Chain A
Amino acid sequence: MSVSGPQADTPTEVESPTTDQGSQIRGMSPRQLAVSRFRRDTGSMIAGGVVLLFMLLAVLAPILTKMKILRPYTFNSDKLDVNNGSVPKGALGGISWSHPFGLTPGTGTDVMSRLIMGMTFSISIALLAALLTVALGTVIGIIAGSSGKWVDAIIGRIIDMTLSFPQTLMLLALSSTLIYQLERLGVPKGNFARATYLILVLAAFGWPSFARIVRGQVLSLREREFVEAAHVFGASQARIWFKEMLPNLWAPILVYFTLTMPAYISAEAALSFLGVGVKPPTPTLGNILSDATTYYDSDFAYFIIPAFVLATVVVSFNLLGDGLRDALDPKADR
């Protein structure tokens, strides 16, 4: 199964003939229209609110940890039952007022603190990878769409090839050798190199889908008057790319970015399960969840809680992305 890339984007050789994304409604400016449409969409507004809340928590978590309000690294070995595989003493994985989500078996760290701190790391990784994906996709897509036949064809083949690699397997199999190479290049050892690897490879396999979308947009923009006008007035190629084309691409960029985030958060979890990614004690949503999977029997609360937190994050990002898409481009629903 694929672990990255918004799953709605399937590689296709032929441009889908039914999506004409060039159309825009006149009258109000497109931006005003979009904002007003989004405001009317209660579901997406709520999702947006939840996403903001998560982002805020993610930003604040390191500060809260410094202030010792969150204690993701503090051991409570005394609250564990050493005769019973070191699962927390007490019902429901040691849930109490001071540990609302219980304790981690083996270490006794506070699960809630770890999940919030885990959000910081998971969201940071997904954010950087998504930014890189969108940036690469945009630049390459613009170049492909507005250059000559040859450049376009070569980029097209590179895109095809990148998408033809079995992603999950590549991410897994390459992890040890490429992390090693990163460390040789001076990336700090350990989790920093691992996170860097995740970000780089997620983007490396993620950009082609978006480059295709951008290329399609650019192809249709190219025929539009203002671009032709710029050509006539002798604007440089770079100017046309980045001053004329780019501002017209912000809608797909925003939508794609918002939908890539949850895909990468899920990907981080899936890869953690396969043993690739950031290692404890640094928490990520993925490594907490994959640790939790062994405790389905002896600590059911710990098994279930991280999964629900992760799902909530992913769902709210997805809803927000859908809402943005509906608002920005009501006709193209995918």
Chain B
Amino acid sequence: MFAYVVRRLLIGIAMLIVMTLITFVLFLNNKEAAVLASCGKNCTPAQKVEIAKTFGYDQPVVVQWGKFLKGVVVGREFPDDPALRKSSPQLVTQCPPPCLGYSYKSAALVRDVMKDTIPVSVSVASVAFVIWLVLGVLLGIIAALNRGTWVDKIIVGSTLVIFAFPTFFIGLLLYIFIALKFGWVPIPAYISIADGGIFNWFMGLLLPAITLVVFYMAGYVRMTRAFVLETSTEDYIRTAKAKGLPARTVIGKHTFRAALTPIVTMAGMDLALVLGGAPITESVFNFNGLGKLAVEASTQYDLPINIGIVVLLSAFVILANIVVDIAYAFIDPRVSVK
């Protein structure tokens, strides 16, 4: 088991390294735009050359990538141009490991810019995750148990219809009606637990969380329903029923156990994705999370931040993959770990 975990982690790190290279190639293929985005509108060719040098954009992408990796492991110094660092030590910014880069636009380390946004995204994501998981699985079981009845049809139908509306539309609708027109909840805003206590924290992020719930829940309802239905026809469930076990025990112990595996898979991956911020939901509700930061960095062409976020989120997903696979071994005895 230990060896398996180590092997998976090593493969994960190797994947991440390759992915950072791909990211660098994709993002830095247009050097001119990268320079101009920093340079402002009346930028002379001579200035462009100097800026490229200061930021290190004048070097091949692979070299820039190498410096980035090195920064993650041992840290690095900015500006990138060694001559400038030497002549003017007052300009130097230290970026200790793990260094994800320096954003000239924010005049701050990428890590520091991201740091403030992570609690926001994690708060919204974790509340949404709990709601959609509980609600989704519950509704899925209810639908399966009432297969073919109006209960089933309403549950399946409504999740399908709500899911068909774009997230930004649902979010806006909630915002305008629930918060503004009816005033049922306070205006959505992120208030940290330290600032406002758990109640205000929860109420502040309720609507964005519900928006995410609407987006993610449909899949859980459908999947739980499908697996409960499918496993209920399997031999061992039939045997259990024939043995005269009460329906609740059959569903709780046998059917649900079998359906758990795919739900854990899906939940693990979705959690990793949503922890990394929800660009659309955060934009709609004006939450300064990782997702909104990503949107802003894209609009402002803030490459170091974009790259930092991509690397961080990729690492999240890879890690989640590993965790899910390990969790598998515990839940499903049929999956053996080499």
Give A168-182 as 1s and 0s: 1 = Cβ < 8 Å from B's Cβ atoms.
111011111110110
Question: Range of interface residues on chain B?
Answer: 35 or more
Q: Is A46 an interface residue (CB 8 A)?
A: no
Q: Is B231 an interface residue (CB 8 A)?
A: yes
Partner of A169, one of B215, B266, B269, B309: B309
Residues of B within 8 Å of A18, CB to CB, are 227, 230-231, 258, 261-262
Q: Is A11 an interface residue (CB 8 A)?
A: yes
Nearest residue (CB) in A for B312 is A166
Q: Is A61 an interface residue (CB 8 A)?
A: no
Partner of A307, one of B166, B262, B276, B280: B166
A33 to chain B, nearest CB (A): 18
Q: Is B139 an interface residue (CB 8 A)?
A: no
Are B172's CB and A17's CB within 8 A? no
Instruction: Tally A-B pairs: CB < 8 A.
Output: 171
A290-B168, A315-B164 given; A10·B269 CB < 8 A: yes
CA–CA, A272 and B264, complex, Å: 32
A334 to chain B, nearest CB (A): 5
Residues of A within 8 Å of B325, CB to CB, are 13-14
Q: Is B212 an interface residue (CB 8 A)?
A: yes
Q: Is A82 an interface residue (CB 8 A)?
A: no
Are A310's CB and B166's CB within 8 A? yes
Partner of B313, one of A166, A314, A315: A166
B124 to chain A, nearest CB (A): 11
CA–CA, A333 and B18, complex, Å: 36
A167 to chain B, nearest CB (A): 9
Are B335's CB and A17's CB within 8 A? yes
A13-B325, A177-B33 given; A310·B297 CB < 8 A: no
CA–CA, A181 and B31, complex, Å: 12
Q: Is B265 an interface residue (CB 8 A)?
A: yes
Residues of A within 8 Å of B168, CB to CB, are 270, 273, 290, 293
Residues of A within 8 Å of B161, CB to CB, are 311, 315
Are A164's CB and B321's CB within 8 A? yes
Q: Is B44 an interface residue (CB 8 A)?
A: no
B260 to chain A, nearest CB (A): 11
Give A1-45 as 1s and 0s: 1 = Cβ < 8 Å from B's Cβ atoms.
111000110111110111000000000000000000000000000
B164 to chain A, nearest CB (A): 4
Q: Is B169 an interface residue (CB 8 A)?
A: yes
Are A296's CB and B176's CB within 8 A? yes
Residue ranges of A at the interface with B (Cβ–Cβ < 8 Å): 1-3, 7-8, 10-14, 16-18, 157, 160-161, 163-166, 168-170, 172-178, 180-181, 262, 266, 269-270, 273-275, 286, 289-290, 293, 296, 307, 310-312, 314-315, 318-319, 331, 333-334
The 9 closest A-B pairs by CB, nearest first: A333-B226, A314-B164, A166-B313, A311-B164, A10-B266, A164-B317, A173-B298, A177-B30, A315-B164
Q: Beyond the given A157-B11, A166-B276, A169-B294, please list 9 additional residue pairs across the A-B interface where CB-CB is below 8 A.
A: A1-B216, A7-B218, A8-B222, A10-B269, A12-B324, A14-B265, A173-B306, A319-B160, A333-B229
